[in-house]
Amino acid sequence: MKNKTIVLGVSASVAAYKSAQLVSEFKKKGITVHVVMTKNSTEFITPLTMQVLSGNPVHTDTMKEAAADKVNHIALAQNCDLVLIAPATANIIGKLSNGIADDMLTTVCMAVPIDTPKIIAPAMNTKMYEQPVTVDNLNKLKSYGYEEIKPISEMLACGDVGIGALAPVTEIVDYVVDKLSIQNA
C-alpha cells in the first residue's frame, strides 16, 4: 500500500472518534492519509489529534490555503487514490447527493476525478438512516459512483438500538485496502 494516498473525510457524528483509529490503521499499512473535517466534526474530535496521527495538516476551511502556489481543495482531490467519508452523516450525504459544495469536505469531493473511488460509511440514528430522503440520497450517490459501507445494528449514542452505527474499523480498512489493491492490478 506504499505510494497510496487517501482523503479521509470526517463529518459530525459521535462516531468521529473512530476516524482516529482509521487513520492509525491506514498509516500502519503505509497509506498516506490527508484528513478533511467538517467544522462541526471538530466538536467531536480535534484536528490536532488527526494531524498527529496522520502526520499531515488537517483541512477544515476552504478559504485557508496551505500554500500560495496551489488551490488546496483541488490539489487534495487530484492527488488521492481514494476518498473515504467515515463517518458520513445524513447532512454530508444530502449535500453531496445534491451537488452542494459549501465546505472543505464537499468541495474536495466535488473536485475528485470521476474515476477515483469514493466510499461513504454512514453513521447516524436509525430513524435518520431509514428516512426516505436519506435512502434516496444514498441511492443517488451510488448512481454517481459512490460506494457504501453499510452501518451496523447496535446500541447507538442516543440509547436506541438499531442500524446506524459506523461499520467496524477493521471492515472499513479491509474494504479500502481491497479497493486500492484492485487499482494496482
Convert the pLDDT of each residue in 112-130 to its tens digit.
Answer: 999 999 999 999 999 999 9
The pLDDT value given to residue 176:
97
Separation CA 177–CA 16 (nearest Å): 20
Separation CA 51–CA 160 (nearest Å): 32
Angle, helices 132-143 vs 90-97, to 10°: value is 50
User: Taking a C-beta distance cutoff of 8 angstroms, is the pair 72, 59 a contact?
Assistant: yes
Which one of the listed residues 158, 161, 170, 181 is annotated catalytic? Answer: 158
Separation CA 88–CA 121 (nearest Å): 6
**Does the structure show a pLDDT above 70 at 185?**
no
Number of residues that make up the chain: 185
**Residues 166-178, mean pLDDT to the nearest whole number:** 97
Closest-CA residue to 10 (of 55, 75, 74, 59):
59
Angle at alpha carbon of residue 102, lines to 100 and 103, rounded to 5°: 125
Q: How much of the chain is in helix, strand and coil states, percent to nearest 5?
A: 45, 20, 35
Amino acid occupying residue 136: D
Separation CA 105–CA 35 (nearest Å): 9
Domain ranges of the chain: 5-184
Percent of the chain beyond pLDDT 70? 95
Percent of the chain beyond pLDDT 90? 80
The pLDDT value given to residue 29:
96
72 pLDDT band (50/70/90 cuts)? confident
CA–CA distance from 48 to each of 29, 54, 113, 179 (Å)? 21, 10, 28, 28
The pLDDT value given to residue 184:
67
**Residues 82-106, mean pLDDT to the nearest whole number:** 97
108 pLDDT band (50/70/90 cuts)? very high
pTM above 0.75, yes or no: yes
158 is catalytic: yes
Residue bearing cell 438499531: 162
68 pLDDT band (50/70/90 cuts)? low
The pLDDT value given to residue 106:
97
Class of domain 5-184: alpha beta
- Computed from CA positions of residues 149, 155, 157, 160, in that sequence, does the dihedral angle turn out positive or negative? positive
